[in-house]
């Protein structure tokens, strides 16, 4: 009985420590730090995730390809 209680206590502590160590959710303020290409790829990946699709970038776009990209286009 003592071993079970001790095991459960340690498991609870590990799970709590894992939750405390997780990364905080981004608030969107970092989007201004991203390049045009990164913002485009992020928008495409989000759109695909909403549709339960996976995107595999074989030839990711260059900055020259996205001179006119604006986040409102997505």
Tokens encoding 73: 């286009």
**Does residue 55 belong to any structural domain of this protein?**
yes
Tell me which residue range forms the domain holding 53: 34-59
**Alpha helices (H) in 1-74, listed in sequence order:** 2-21, 36-50
Q: How high is the pLDDT of residue 15?
A: 76
Q: How many domains does the chain have?
A: 1
With vertex at residue 13, the alpha carbon angle to CA 8 and CA 19, rounded to the nearest 5 degrees, is 125
**Does residue 16 belong to any structural domain of this protein?**
no
Per-residue pLDDT tens digits of the chain, which is 74 residues long: 778 888 888 787 777 776 665 555 555 555 568 887 888 889 999 999 999 998 998 988 887 777 665 666 55
Q: How high is the pLDDT of residue 20?
A: 60
Q: How high is the pLDDT of residue 45?
A: 92
**Does residue 52 belong to any structural domain of this protein?**
yes
Q: How high is the pLDDT of residue 30?
A: 56
Q: How many CB atoms lie within 10 A of CB 59?
A: 6
**Does residue 53 belong to any structural domain of this protein?**
yes
* pTM passes above 0.95: no
**Does residue 39 belong to any structural domain of this protein?**
yes
């Amino acid at each position: 009985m003592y071993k079970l209680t001790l095991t459960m206590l340690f498991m609870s502590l590990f799970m709590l420590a894992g939750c405390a160590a997780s990364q905080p959710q981004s608030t969107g303020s970092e989007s201004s730090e991203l390049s045009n290409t990164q913002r485009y790829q992020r928008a495409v990946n989000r759109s695909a995730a909403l549709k339960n699709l996976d995107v595999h970038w074989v030839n990711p776009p260059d900055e020259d390809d996205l001179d006119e990209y604006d986040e409102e286009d997505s």
